[in-house]
Amino acid sequence: MKGGSPVKLHNDSSDLLIYTLGGFTVYKKGVNLTQEKSQSIKSFQLLKYLIAHRDKRLKPEQIVSHLWPDNNYSNPKSTMYSHIYRLRNLLGKDKYNNHYILSDNGFYKWNKSASYWLDIEELEKCLNMAKQKIPTNLNKAIKYYRTASHINIGNFLPEDKNDWTSYVRNYYLNMYKNTTLELTDRLQNFNRIKETKEFTQKAIEVFPFEEKFYYHLTKSLIKEGKVQKAKDYFENTKKFFVNEFGSHPSFNWHEIDNKFEAIN
C-alpha cells in the first residue's frame, strides 16, 4: 500500500481514497499524495487527526495541543488556520465541489458528507453488518466478515506512537476481536469447522493472547477426528500460556480434557 495504484476493495467512485490500516496512504485521482516530497508532514498529521476524530467538532487549541505539544504557539487559531488552508489546497474539493474540511463557528470538522473512501469507515460498516447478521444469517455474516478482513491489513496508523492514535487503534482492534469471537462461537455451535479453523487461525496471529481462539481451534481439530493433532496443539497451547503468564489457560479447557478422556 506504499506506492503505485491503490488496491480498491470497494465499488466506490470517490476520487479521494484514504488508507490508515497498516500504514498511511492518500490517493487523489489515482495519485499518491503521501509520496509527494513537497507536501508538509504537518498537513498529513492534521489529516490523520481530523479523520480519526471525524465525528467531532474540534477546537484549534485542542488540535494543536494534541499534534504538536512541544511547540509553544502564541496564536493557535492562526496557526491552525494556516495548516487547514494548506491541507484544503492539497486535497482540493470532491466531485460535487464540496470541501473535505468544514469550518463551524471557530471549530473544524471533517466533512462526512463529502465524497471520499476511508478504510476504517468501511471496516466498521462491514464488522457491524457481520455482527448484525450472525444470529440470523451466517452466510451473509461470513461474507461481510471476509470483506472486513481484506480491509483490515494492519493496525491503525502503526507509524504513530501517541495517546490519541493508541485509543483509536485499540477501538478498531477490539471491534475486530469481538466480532470474530461472536462469529466463531456461532460457527462452532453449527459445526462449521472449516470456517471456524480459518477465522481462528488468522485471529491468533493478531490476538495471540486471546485463549478462546485456541479453544475453538482445538475443538475443531477434535471434531475433524484429528485427535493426536488436537492433543499436540492443546499441550503446546498450555506451554505457551505458562511461559507467557505462569499459568495454564483458563477458558473451558476442562471441557477439552474431558473430550480427550472420553476418546481414550
Nine-digit cell at 258? 474431558
Q: Per residue in 224-246, pLDDT tens?
A: 999 999 999 989 998 999 999 98
State the Cα–Cα distance between residues 161 and 129, nearest whole angstrom.
30
The residues of the chain that CATH labels 1.10.10.10 are 41-115
Instruction: Judge whether residue 215 has pLDDT over 50.
Output: yes
State the Cα–Cα distance between residues 191 and 207, nearest whole angstrom.
23
| Mean model confidence pLDDT for the chain | 90
What is the mean predicted confidence (pLDDT) over 199-208?
A: 96
Q: By percentage, how much of the chain surpasses pLDDT 70?
A: 91
Can you give the pLDDT at residue 94? 94
pTM confidence score: 0.88
Q: Per residue in 119-169, pLDDT tens?
A: 999 999 999 999 999 999 999 999 999 999 999 989 999 999 999 999 999
Domain 41-115 falls under CATH 1.10.10.10: yes
Instruction: Judge whether residue 2 has pLDDT over 70.
Output: no
Beta-carbon contacts of residue 57 (< 8 Å; ≥ 6 apart): 104, 107, 108, 109
Q: Mean pLDDT lowest for which of 7-11, 220-224, 245-249?
A: 7-11
Beta strands, E only, the chain: 16-19, 25-28, 31-32, 101-104, 107-110, 117-118
Q: By percentage, how much of the chain surpasses pLDDT 90?
A: 78
Q: Per residue in 69-126, pLDDT tens?
A: 877 777 889 999 999 999 999 999 999 999 999 998 999 999 999 999 999 999 999 9
Tell me the sheet residues that pair with 104: 107
Q: Choose among 106, 148, 146: nearest CA to 125.
A: 148
From the number of C-beta atoms within 10 Å of its C-beta (0-12, 13-18, 19+), residue 230 rates as buried
Report residue 254's pLDDT band, with 50, 70 and 90 as the boundaries: confident
Domain 119-263 falls under CATH 3.40.50.800: no
The residues of the chain that CATH labels 1.25.40.10 are 119-263
What is the mean predicted confidence (pLDDT) over 40-64?
A: 94
